[in-house]
Amino acid sequence: MTTIAHISDLHFGVAVPSVVEGLARHLIEHPPSLLVVSGDLTQRARAGQFAEARKFLDRFPWPRLVIPGNHDVPLYDVVRRFSSPLGRYREQIQEELNPLFQNDEVLVAGVNTARSLTWKSGRISHAQMDQLAKRLAQGGARLKVVVTHHPFIPSPLSPKAGIDLGRAAQALTILEQHKVDLLLAGHLHHGYAGDTRTHFASATRSIISVQAGTAVSRRVRREPNAFNWITVQPDTLLIQMLAWDGRGFQPAKRTRYRKRDGAWLPEPA
């Protein structure tokens, strides 16, 4: 069994100190196998904001897989935005933009979807798809997980809004070929999960896409600060959302999927 603490959209710069402390406290009391951070570590990609994010991450001794989000590319500093969009991220958080984690049970591949040109929208390049295919091919029987900042499925609150991820359908064919089971993302500041087949008519494989809310920032939209605690087993995915109640992170929405005849089916959690 592998446990993943999936946090997203920290937005240091507009992070609420009491929630930051609450999250650190909760994580230290409940150590995961892996900490996944699905982007938007900062609000404006400033050096001081990355320093705060790095200091926060360094409080935890477990393996971590971190990818950037669109807010980690400068928006108003146009020179830096185009000359070195993720320069500060690479200097202060980590050099690798498409990180990889594996243990005996899972292979987790991060894909950087943040771009300078289409600042808010994400994209996956052909080179990234090639790299991803090679990595997934080496996964063997392990359960395969792909992490992006931009989600592959829209929020159930605005299903017609579409998604903000260029070449998603093309990338999905690679995820299907290489038997990916789980996608993790953020960006919309809304925690929800669903099967990618509900959005892509052409999809042939059941792949569960799990989004995390904003962990610690005051940029909350429809729900309080939240993150996901995900328990991964070969035939079961348990997604426990933990939401801030003003004093601590408490269990909130819980979704369990069980694999039957190759499809992930929701069942009472």
Q: How far is the C-alpha of 40 from the C-alpha of 120, rounded, in Å? A: 11
Residue 247 is encoded by which pair of tokens?
A: 């004093």
How far lies 20's CA from each of 9, 12, 39, 167, 214, in Å? 12, 9, 16, 34, 11
| 139 binds Fe ion, rule: CB under 5 A | no
Which residue lies nearer to Fe ion by CB, 7 or 107?
7
Q: Among 13, 68, 69, 154, which residue interacts with Fe ion (rule: CB under 5 A)?
A: 69
| 72 binds Fe ion, rule: CB under 5 A | no
How far lies 251's CA from each of 5, 25, 125, 226, in Å? 13, 15, 37, 10
User: Where does this chain touch Fe ion (CB under 5 A) — which range of 72-80, 153-161, 182-190, 232-240?
Assistant: 182-190
| 74 binds Fe ion, rule: CB under 5 A | no
| 70 binds Fe ion, rule: CB under 5 A | yes
Window 1-40: residues binding Fe ion (CB under 5 A):
9, 40
User: Where does this chain touch Fe ion (CB under 5 A) — which range of 29-37, 54-62, 185-193, 223-231?
Assistant: 185-193
| 211 binds Fe ion, rule: CB under 5 A | no
* Pairing of β 34-38 and β 226-233: unpaired
Q: How far is the C-alpha of 47 from the C-alpha of 223, rounded, in Å? A: 29
Q: How far is the CB of 236 from Fe ion (least distance, A)?
A: 29
Which residue lies nearer to Fe ion by CB, 187 or 199?
187
| 115 binds Fe ion, rule: CB under 5 A | no
Q: How far is the C-alpha of 4 from the C-alpha of 20, rounded, in Å? A: 18
Q: How far is the C-alpha of 200 from the C-alpha of 197, rounded, in Å? A: 5
Torsion of CA 134, 152, 233, 97, to 10 degrees: 50
Number of residues near Fe ion (by CB under 5 A): 5
Which residue lies nearer to Fe ion by CB, 112 or 206?
112
Q: Among 187, 190, 199, 205, which residue interacts with Fe ion (rule: CB under 5 A)?
A: 187
Which residue lies nearer to Fe ion by CB, 220 or 238?
220
| 151 binds Fe ion, rule: CB under 5 A | no
| 195 binds Fe ion, rule: CB under 5 A | no
Which residue lies nearer to Fe ion by CB, 70 or 209?
70
- On the 0-12 / 13-18 / 19+ scale of CB atoms within 10 A, 126 is exposed
Which residue lies nearer to Fe ion by CB, 9 or 181?
9
Alpha helix segments (H runs only) across the chain: 17-29, 47-57, 78-83, 87-92, 126-137, 168-177
Which residue lies nearer to Fe ion by CB, 77 or 105?
77
Binding site residues, Fe ion, CB under 5 A: 9, 40, 69-70, 187
